[in-house]
Amino acid sequence: MELIMTHTQPFAGKTAIVFGGSRGIGAAAARRLARDGADVVITYVSAPEKAAETVKAIEEQGGKALAVKADSADPAAIKAAVIHAVERFGQLDIAVVNAGILMIKDVADFSVEDLDRMLNINVRGVYLAIQAAAGFMQRGGRIITIGSNAAVRSGHPGSSVYSMTKGAVAIMVKGIAVDLAPQGITVNNIQPGPIATDMTSDMIDALKPMIPVRRAGEPDEIGGLVAYLASAESGYMTGSSITIDGGLAL
């Protein structure tokens, strides 16, 4: 099979949605996809100013972007965001599911309410985002979830629930990849280790000595992997979880 794409903008004419794309890894993925030619819709829930900054950054580079408020704990909001993307740009080719929350608490201190919120956003929300996006994709569609290396390495006290949700995403991707393979849609999962973002700012310094490469990852490094998994070159990869964590999970 011959792969044909432009070197500068392989996603020209394509539309991407990035759930949780206002900041951190999601914003980096949105910027990279836009730089490579995609029209991009990002969702946000609690940081409208960050969402606006990401849209502005994309537009200043000549791209097209739109921010949509959508809580990933709300099934109706997830579906509405996808419909909005399709109505605005006419199609949907790439979905990046990055929305998630992190709570670190000892098992004795985890309330039912906190447990439900983690599951609703980190597991149910991921499933519903994939379901909504896949319903509008044609052959060649790409779905990429952002999990965590906690799915394979849970050595931090208080991380049991977070690790459980990320492990669930890794298994979920395997099953959905099989379901969507006949439609020509691939589904893959990225499992980052410590990345320098707002979410990890209070723990990065403590983690650096444990990372073999002795540094945290950068959001743009994850964005680069997103771009590969969204490309035509990745068409033979589906159902995979790729850990990118500076060697921490070795």
Of 35, 54, 74, the residue nearest 198 (C-alpha): 54
Residues in the chain: 250
Cβ neighbors of 64 (< 8 A, separation 6 or more) are 34, 39, 40, 58, 89
Of the listed 127, 162, 228, 236, which one is catalytic?
Answer: 162
- Rg, the chain, Cα only: 17
Rounded Cα–Cα distance for residues 82 and 129 (Å) = 8
Contact 192, 212 (CB under 8 A): no
3-state DSSP percent of the chain in helix, strand and coil, to 5: 45, 15, 40
CA–CA distance from 18 to each of 13, 54, 106, 237, 239 (Å)? 17, 12, 31, 20, 19
Q: What angle do CA 227, 231, 237 make, to 5 degrees?
A: 100
Of 175, 191, 184, the residue nearest 234 (C-alpha): 184
Contact 9, 36 (CB under 8 A): yes
Catalytic residue list contains 162: yes
Contact 93, 141 (CB under 8 A): yes
- Give the active site residues: 162
